[in-house]
Amino acid sequence: MEVIPDDFSLIEDRLHHYVDAGCDLIFTTGGTGLTPDDITPEATRAVIAREAPGFSEAMRIEGARHTPLGILSRGVSGVAGHTLIVNFPGSPKAIGQLFPVLVPTLAHAVRTLRGDSRHGQRD
Amino acid sequence: MEVIPDDFSLIEDRLHHYVDAGCDLIFTTGGTGLTPDDITPEATRAVIAREAPGFSEAMRIEGARHTPLGILSRGVSGVAGHTLIVNFPGSPKAIGQLFPVLVPTLAHAVRTLRGDSRHGQRD
Amino acid sequence: MEVIPDDFSLIEDRLHHYVDAGCDLIFTTGGTGLTPDDITPEATRAVIAREAPGFSEAMRIEGARHTPLGILSRGVSGVAGHTLIVNFPGSPKAIGQLFPVLVPTLAHAVRTLRGDSRHGQRD
């Protein structure tokens, strides 16, 4: 776990670092709002090669069940190399609400990212 | 309020004008369908610097509750400078159905766009 | 109906072929997952001129009602020329679950893609 400032190049650089290190999953938190310094989604988009928008869409839908402000999160999700990157909002409360949306998908996601050639039900 | 034709450069130009004028919010209506001259989302995308897809996603979900055709709206939403731009469909009935989705978020959205450094629950 | 391998240029080429042939609708199946060779969405994005994300969003929402893995589908949807292209996952079971989401929109979609100037309720 690493804490870094809202600096586009720095976020991009650290994401590349963890992708190159072979991490299966990278979760970022914060920097997904409308404040001018919220640029985590843009830095993430610069790193991913293939978007996987269903994670972010489902998290916004779940977020909106808890507060109308849930739709404000601009988080993106996608794949770089063999790594899945997902942007979470910064609020610990929101993270606790949204993480369960991902949990049932992560084992399958990691297996397919590693190139398991047996296609699953939904590929 | 201004009415302009389905002209890409003109839409782009007028959006830039209102962004530069410091508007907090720009709502467009119409030009979001599949008809060949519907290019408002593309012109909007050319202006925004940061996508805020949750507005458009939530509007399509709400629209689909009223008619299956709700998913046809190609509207986008995002931030240019300190301005939030949201594309609405052209039907007054649809606008009436969809605007309430945004209402509870707008005060918070405008505060954060202005750079209020106190991060909210979901940023 | 045509079966082709997970080859970016080949998918792109065949999509262009059917668009140029004047097809109203192109449905692809498979190649939408996280496996490294799943690149149908990227090839589709290279062909479409205007995104119509509501189809793919609604399909993921419906898919998630059947299995949490439904959010993994990276399918995109959009318009090239007068043709609507929609990516489906590869599983016949998933296709059976997701196709009904599109059915009530297709007649209207084809009419508007052909340039019928009478705007519908949601355009």
pLDDT (tens digit per residue) in A52-84: 999 999 999 999 999 999 999 999 999 999 999
**Average pLDDT for residues A2-24, to the nearest whole number?**
97
Sites in chain C below the pLDDT cut of 50 = 121-123
- What is the pTM assigned to this prediction? 0.94
Structure tokens of B56?
């458009």
- Residue A2 makes CB contacts below 8 A (sequence gap 6+) with A14
pLDDT at C38: 96
A73 to B57: CB separation less than 8 angstroms, yes or no:
no
Q: In percent, how much of chain B has pLDDT > 90?
A: 92
Identify the contact set of chain A against chain B, taking CB-CB distances under 8 A. Answer: 30, 32-36, 38-39, 41-42, 56-57, 60-61, 63-64, 67-74, 89-91, 93-94
The pLDDT of residue B92 is above 60 = yes
Contact C16, C47 (CB under 8 A): yes
For A54, the closest of C36, C71, C90 (CB atoms) is C71
**Average pLDDT for residues A82-101, to the nearest whole number?**
97
B54 to A32: CB separation less than 8 angstroms, yes or no:
no
| Chain B / chain C CB contacts < 8 angstroms | 85
pLDDT at C66: 98
The mean predicted confidence, pLDDT, of chain B is 94
For C35, the closest of A104, A105, A112 (CB atoms) is A112
Structure tokens of B108?
């918070």
The pLDDT of residue B43 is above 60 = yes
Model ipTM? 0.93
Structure tokens of A96?
């606790």
A35 to B82: CB separation less than 8 angstroms, yes or no:
no
pLDDT at C121: 47
Query: Exposed, middle or buried, B73 (CB in 10 Å: 0-12/13-18/19+)?
Result: buried
C71 to A57: CB separation less than 8 angstroms, yes or no:
yes
Render pLDDT for A15-31 as a digit per residue (tens, 0 to 9).
999 999 999 999 999 99
For C52, the closest of B34, B57, B64 (CB atoms) is B34
DSSP type of residue A81: T
pLDDT at A40: 98
pLDDT at B118: 56
B73 to C58: CB separation less than 8 angstroms, yes or no:
no
pLDDT at C116: 72
For residue C112, what is the nearest residue in chain B, using CA coordinates? B35
Which three-class secondary structure state does DSSP give residue C79? strand
For residue B82, what is the nearest residue in chain A, using CA coordinates? A36
Query: Exposed, middle or buried, C111 (CB in 10 Å: 0-12/13-18/19+)?
Result: middle
Instruction: Assign A116 a pLDDT band (cuts: 50, 70, 90).
Output: confident
Contact A52, C32 (CB under 8 A): no
Long-range (24+ apart) CB contacts under 8 A made by C56-59 are C56/A53, C56/C86, C56/C87, C57/A57, C57/B57, C57/B60, C57/B61, C57/B71, C58/B60, C58/B64, C58/B71, C58/C101, C59/C86, C59/C88, C59/C98, C59/C101, C59/C102
Instruction: Assign B85 a pLDDT band (cuts: 50, 70, 90).
Output: very high
- For A33, B5, B116, the CA distances from B121, given in Å and listed in that order, are 10, 40, 13
Residues of B in contact with C51 (CB under 8 A): 41, 74
pLDDT at B115: 83
Phi, psi of C80, deg, nearest 5: -125, 125
